[in-house]
């Protein structure tokens, strides 16, 4: 059974250290999964290519363009995601935040996630645990313990580069364990967790209460006598 892994890269430049880090993590994840006897399909989504689509969705009450709708479906149907953002003003980029703002709140339920970030200096490394991890916790994703941060100096061949490689491999191993984990439990001792089904948010709920009916209920609460007319 092939596992579908989606990498979300919020890099803006070309070439991009954010994309470089995303690719390295993706390769490590694929190696970890295939090394355990399974196959993995890795798809990279460049968020900069969705900038106009995201702006359109944000300014039209959340209505996604066809391209954005396809990406939302891809993300919610994945077996795991790798999310990588550059650091701007001590936090993740606005483009990165816009993408997760347009996802359905139920899109990442129980989703294994590797969080990663790039910046020019190691002083920004706390962004992983102070900004990015809380975002995914709110979305009820399962974030691996090891976050991957890379400053400019970490892309070299020295000690910093070897340390980055070690972090990438450790995060990938933790991620593969979650992605490949089977739901198991001993009856009467450890009940199987019931993870709420993920939804992309683009399906139309047919059980919709007409707005005029909702308005009538509001009027009845404010003016009981008028609601009886």
In this predicted structure, what is the pLDDT of residue 190? 43
Query: pLDDT tens digits for 57-93?
Result: 999 988 999 999 999 999 999 999 999 999 999 999 9
Assigned domain for 186 exists: no
CB-CB contact of 149 with 117 (8 Å): yes
Let me know if residue 28 belongs to a domain: yes
**Phi, psi values for residue 4, rounded to 5°:** -100, 115
Residue 193 lies in a domain: no
Q: How many domains does the chain have?
A: 1
Residue at 18 is within a domain? yes
The pLDDT value given to residue 191:
44
Render pLDDT for 163-172 as a digit per residue (tens, 0 to 9).
Answer: 999 999 999 9
Q: Is residue 223 part of a domain?
A: no
Give yes or no for residue 25 having a pLDDT over 80.
yes
Report whether pLDDT(194) > 60: no
- Whether 206 is covered by a domain: the verdict is no
* Cβ neighbours of 136 (radius 10 Å): 18
* Domain at 104, CATH number: 3.40.50.360
Using alpha carbons, select from 113, 98, 84, 111 the residue that is nearest to residue 51: 98
**Domain annotation covers residue 211:** no
Q: 3-class SS at 222? A: helix
Q: Is the pLDDT of residue 225 over 70?
A: no
Whether residue 215 is contained in a domain is answered as no
Domain around 95 = 2-180
């Amino acid at each position: 059974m092939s596992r579908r892994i989606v990498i979300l890269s919020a890099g803006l430049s070309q070439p991009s250290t954010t994309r470089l880090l995303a690719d390295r993590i993706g390769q490590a994840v694929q190696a970890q999964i295939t090394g355990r006897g399974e196959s993995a399909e890795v798809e990279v989504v460049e968020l900069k290519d969705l900038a106009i689509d995201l702006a359109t969705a944000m300014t039209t009450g959340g209505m996604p363009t066809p391209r954005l709708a396809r990406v939302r479906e891809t993300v919610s149907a994945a077996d795991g995601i790798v999310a990588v953002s550059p650091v701007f003003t001590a936090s993740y980029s606005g483009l990165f935040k816009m993408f997760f703002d347009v996802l359905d709140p139920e899109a990442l339920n129980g989703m294994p996630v590797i969080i990663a970030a790039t910046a020019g200096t190691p002083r920004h490394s706390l962004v992983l645990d102070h900004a990015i991890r809380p975002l995914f916790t709110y979305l009820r994703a399962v974030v691996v313990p090891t976050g991957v941060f890379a400053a400019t100096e970490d892309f070299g061949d020295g000690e910093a580069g070897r340390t980055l490689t070690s972090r990438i491999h450790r995060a990938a191993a933790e991620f593969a364990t979650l992605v490949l984990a089977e739901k198991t439990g001993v009856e009467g001792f450890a009940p199987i967790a019931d993870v709420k089904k993920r939804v992309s948010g683009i399906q139309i709920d047919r059980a919709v209460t007409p707005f005029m009916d909702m308005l009538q209920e509001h009027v009845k609460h404010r003016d009981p006598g008028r609601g009886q007319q």
